[in-house]
Each structure stands twice: as structure tokens, then as C-alpha cells.
Structure 1
Amino acid sequence: MPRFKLVFFSPTASTQTILKHLFTKYPQHVGKIGQYEGCAFVTKGTGQFTPGDEANPAIGTRGELEFVEEHRVEVVVNDNGDNNEIKNAISELKTVHPYEEVAYDVYRLEDF
């Protein structure tokens, strides 16, 4: 079964809401490692961005550099082999996340 690591960045106040939503929506696929559920690694940092002229920022002002306390969140996504679960998880992340543009990375994991 293919596995992926989904990494995303969220404002600290939104992280647990996002994770709970993903874990509830996809309990067999997101954050499940062996017999453990709701697994995630969360680290705190500072994100920065400047919203463009046509942006509709949830935080900040167009044209002004913004610094936000954010979490880097890492979760495993177990897939059935068709990549639908990782695609569904990303789609759901985008619906529940407060940002207009969600910053995320996907890594395919290998077993050794």
C-alpha cells in the first residue's frame, strides 16, 4: 500500500481544527500509523508572505509583508494504490484551511 507524507503550514490557532477534521473525515487514511490514529508532528515557526494586489488574505494586508506564527504539520496518508486518498486529503485540506492559498508538500514514502 503506497504511503505519503503530507506537510502543510497553518496559523497556530487553526492547526487542531484542521487536524481533527482530516482525522475524522479519513480515519483509515490520514494520521494512521499501525495501531495508532491521529498521528501528526507539529513544529512552530514564523511564516512570511506579501499578499498581491488581487489577493483576498485571511491574515494581512495587500502589498504589505506579513509575519505569522504558524505550525508545520506532518501527517502520513495511507493510499489504496490509486492516489485517490492523498488527492482527497489535499482537497479536504483546502476546504477546511483558512488561507486562500494553502502551502503544502507531498512526499512519497518508501518501505525498507
Structure 2
Amino acid sequence: MTTLYKLCFYVPVSHVETVKAAVFDAGAGRIGDYDRCSFQVLGQGQFRPLDGSNPYLGSQGQVETVEEYRVEMICQADCLEPAVRALHDAHPYEEPAIDLWQLAPLPV
């Protein structure tokens, strides 16, 4: 049985489809006989760029809020590294927020 992970990331509304497409193209989002599977919910992100940062949005030292999607999808272990690399390459932020959980097998 393949080890599965849940990949979760936050991305501004303007880039959600581009980033999802890149991660899907790298192999994430496959569940059985379905692909490009994900869940997303709109919310508000907050951050403050510090000295040395190169922010896509906002200015150093100023708190910025932005509408972002939280996107979740399943990722098999063999495509995890390419999917995270694709996410970083397609994401506009210098430091995208990414969560990753290893999933336990479902009892069937």
C-alpha cells in the first residue's frame, strides 16, 4: 500500500488555479480512479514582511492581509517531492505556507 499525505497550502485568489494546476501536473490530487481532486475554502491570510524579505504583496514592517484560498489535496509519497517543488515554483510568495500530514490507512 502506498503512503499517502495530505498537502495543504495557502495561495492568493489571483494564483489559486495556476498553483493547483502545477501541483496536479506533478501528480498530486489523485484518489483511486480520479485525479485533480482538491478542496478549497476562501479566507483571509495575514503576515508582516521582515527586514531582508522580498514580499510579493505588502511592505517590510507592515502587517498585510489578503484574501487567500486554503487548498488541500492527497499526494502519494512518490510524487510528494515533485508536487512541493511545483508548488514553490508556481506560487507567488517568497515563503508559501505549506502543511503536510502523513495519513493513516483507512480501515476497510
Query: Post-superposition shift, 1:79?
Result: 2.0
How many residue pairs are counted as aligned between the two chains?
Answer: 105
| Equivalent residue number for residue 96 of structure 2 | 102
- Between the aligned residues of both structures, percent identity stands at 37
C-alpha deviation, 1:13, in angstroms? 1.2
**Residue of structure 2 equivalent to 1:42:** 40
C-alpha distance after superposition, 1:50-82 (max 9, x if no partner): 1001110000111100000000000100124xx
Give the conservation status (yes or no) of the 8 Å contact 2:29–2:74. yes
Q: Contact 2:24/2:83 (CA < 8 Å) preserved in 1?
A: no
Deviations 1:4-27 (A, max 9, x none): 00000000110111111221232x
**Letter of the 1:59 counterpart:** L
Equivalences for 1:9-88 in 2 at 5 Å?
9-26=10-27, 30-80=28-78, 85-88=79-82
What is the CA RMSD across the aligned residues, in angstroms? 1.0
Structure 2 unaligned segments of length 5 or more: list them. Answer: none
For 1:97 and 1:4, how far apart are their aligned partners in 2? Answer: 20
In structure 1, the gaps of 5 or more residues are none
TM-score, reference length from structure 1: 0.89
Distance in 1 (CA, whole Å) between partners of 2:7 and 2:32 is 17
